[in-house]
Homo-oligomer: A and B are copies of this chain.
Amino acid sequence: MKVRVAGRLRDYKTVWMERGRVRMIDQRLLPERFRIHTARTVGEVAKAIREMVVRGAPAIGAAAAYGMALGALARDNVMKDAALLLRTRPTAHDLSYAVREMERAIRSGWDPVAAAQKYARNLEAVCLEIGRQGEPLLEGGSTVLTHCNAGALATVDHGTALAPIRRAHRRKKRLFVYVDETRPRLQGAKLTAWELKQEGIDYAIISDSAAGYYLLQGKVDCVLVGADRITSSGDFANKVGTYPLAVLAKENGVPFYVAAPRSTFDFTIDHWKQIPIEERDPLEVLKIEDRRIAPVGAEARNPAFDVTPGRYVTKFVTERGLFSPKQVHGLASVKP
């Protein structure tokens, strides 16, 4: 992605490897500060994933692949490294997908760094293809609603949900994007708004709960989000707040699209109840930017994701084309 740093336009990936270190854009600091975070060991990569220096299912997968490469360079126990990474965040399927791929590559005697780089480069190509597959769904002059960040920062580049939007914009389609701020961690207001601004795409940030008002008024032409884990029935997990959008879209006759690579699909399960949902620190709800917003001692709950039954999805947008929820199981036999 193009990033303007100190007045100069430079090209960045969300996560990459150089000179035996894993480097990543520190997403906790955006949009105020653009800083590159460095991890020197698999433990430091695991910490970066856990603390959300890097987040977004596909980006977590790429970071984990690089983490496995660091471990292999240090002659770590492969199973131990895999277990360490798998413990960081439970919901994103790309994490286990990437770790398994790297385990296989390392055991097969591949160069671990080359294998991780291949994983990341393939993900970039996959996201470009998701952009190509999804772009025809977006009509010129239309308004898209998105949630959280499923952009370049959630992948290695280009994004999942933002890939068709970027492509449509580059092909001179005029779009307007409503960006849910996405409490508690505000990835919409902080990351998606930042990406759209860099790209010159028109948008407005809204409170998550304002999305319904625009849908009821007929001001949204489609909803387009990413995913963290998709089951073989089309039930899926994504950032908390996705399920309400899916229900509101259906209620108002608005198409609801989910953009994700093959690596986000978990064909071992077929119901949302089987998806592990991460419950994060209630302080993420009780504080905003270290400032307390609720009474001292207040109780809070903080599920990081929610689940949406497949019946609410119009189409899954993948690098292999568009799939209705009922067609998803067919993707299982397609080679990634």
Known: A289-B288, A293-B289. A210 touches B303 (CB 8 A): yes
Residues of chain B lying within 8 A (CB to CB) of residue A213: 240, 243, 277, 303, 306-307
Residues of chain B lying within 8 A (CB to CB) of residue A244: 209, 211-212, 244, 247-248
Known: A247-B251, A286-B205, A298-B205. A293 touches B211 (CB 8 A): no
Q: Across the interface, do B307 and A216 meet the contact criterion of CB distance under 8 Å? A: yes
Report Cα–Cα, A183/B185, bound state, in Å. Answer: 13
Residues of chain B lying within 8 A (CB to CB) of residue A206: 285, 300-302
Report Cα–Cα, A181/B31, bound state, in Å. Answer: 24
- Each complex incorporates copies of this chain amounting to 2
Report Cα–Cα, A298/B183, bound state, in Å. Answer: 17
Residues of chain B lying within 8 A (CB to CB) of residue A205: 285-286, 294, 298-301
Cβ-based interface call for A114 (8 A):
no
Residue of B nearest to A273 (CB): B217
Report Cα–Cα, A209/B180, bound state, in Å. Answer: 10
Which chain A residues numbered 21 to 46 have a C-beta less than 8 Å away from chain B?
31-32
Known: A181-B285, A213-B303, A306-B212. A207 touches B291 (CB 8 A): no
Which chain A residues numbered 178 to 213 have a C-beta less than 8 Å away from chain B?
178, 180-184, 186, 189-190, 193-194, 197, 202-213
Q: Across the interface, do B240 and A210 meet the contact criterion of CB distance under 8 Å? A: yes
Q: Across the interface, do A190 and B306 meet the contact criterion of CB distance under 8 Å? A: no
Q: Among B31, B182, B203, B293, which residue has its beta carbon within 8 angstroms of that of A190?
A: B293
Cβ-based interface call for A141 (8 A):
no
Q: Across the interface, do B193 and A298 meet the contact criterion of CB distance under 8 Å? A: yes
Which chain A residues numbered 278 to 336 have a C-beta less than 8 Å away from chain B?
285-286, 288-289, 291-303, 306-307, 309
Interface range, A side: 35 or more
Report Cα–Cα, A292/B190, bound state, in Å. Answer: 10
Known: A197-B298, A247-B251, A297-B197. A289 touches B291 (CB 8 A): yes
Q: Across the interface, do A241 and B209 meet the contact criterion of CB distance under 8 Å? A: yes
Known: A190-B294, A203-B299. A288 touches B285 (CB 8 A): no
Known: A206-B300, A248-B247, A299-B203. A212 touches B241 (CB 8 A): yes
Report Cα–Cα, A220/B186, bound state, in Å. Answer: 25
**What is the CB-to-nearest-CB distance from A309 to chain B, in angstroms, rounded to a whole number?**
8
Question: A-B pairs with the 10 shortest C-beta distances?
Answer: A209-B241, A213-B306, A212-B244, A31-B295, A183-B207, A208-B209, A205-B300, A189-B294, A212-B243, A204-B299
Q: List 19 A-B contacts (CB under 8 A).
A: A31-B294, A31-B296, A180-B209, A183-B183, A183-B207, A184-B207, A186-B294, A193-B295, A193-B299, A202-B299, A205-B286, A206-B285, A207-B241, A210-B301, A212-B243, A213-B240, A213-B307, A247-B247, A291-B291
